């Protein structure tokens, strides 16, 4: 059972909104935590921090920690984005689609704003092949599907 009451209430809210079983919703939330553990520089901005060369090491650490907190708080958007991706974009082997470009395609199609980091996390949760192109990520997503959505 989840001890964190806020997390449990978010899982219940997601469960009610989507009609999924509690355990399924809980697994979806756990998937984001696993992705964040596998990609330690992933945060709401994307990969790394904004303008790292002009910041001290301490400022970069602080920005990264704040961005990771913000990303963890956006778990509902990550789960919804991952579901949208699975329904609309076919995965391919070669990563060529920029996360930032596809994020805008999704925003136009759904009318909902998502941060670059939330989009990257959602695509990683959904299992797309990837390659870092900091601060963005290239994903293996069908160009035909993206063109159709655009």
Q: Which residue has the tokens 């070669």?
A: 94
For 1-10, 12-21, 46-55, 113-122, which range has the lowest pLDDT when averaged over its residues?
1-10
**pLDDT exceeds 70 at position 85:** yes
Q: Which residue has the tokens 């079983």?
A: 21
Q: Which residue has the tokens 């919804």?
A: 80
Per-residue pLDDT tens for 127-144? 999 999 989 999 999 999
pLDDT at 3: 62
Q: What is the C-alpha separation between 44 and 117, in angstroms, rounded?
A: 4
């Amino acid at each position: 059972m989840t001890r964190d009451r806020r997390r449990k209430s978010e899982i219940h809210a997601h469960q009610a909104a989507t009609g999924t079983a509690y355990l399924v919703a809980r697994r979806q939330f756990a998937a984001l935590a696993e992705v964040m553990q596998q990609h330690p520089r992933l945060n709401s901005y994307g990969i790394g921090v904004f303008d790292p060369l002009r910041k001290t090491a301490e400022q970069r650490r602080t920005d990264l920690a704040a961005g990771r907190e913000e990303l963890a708080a956006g778990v509902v958007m990550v789960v919804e984005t991952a579901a949208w991706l699975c329904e609309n974009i076919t995965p391919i082997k070669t990563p060529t689609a920029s996360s930032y470009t596809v994020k805008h395609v999704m925003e136009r199609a759904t009318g909902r704003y998502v941060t670059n980091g939330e989009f990257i996390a959602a695509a990683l949760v959904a299992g797309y092949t990837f390659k870092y192109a900091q601060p963005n990520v290239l994903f293996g997503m069908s160009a035909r599907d993206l063109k159709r959505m655009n």
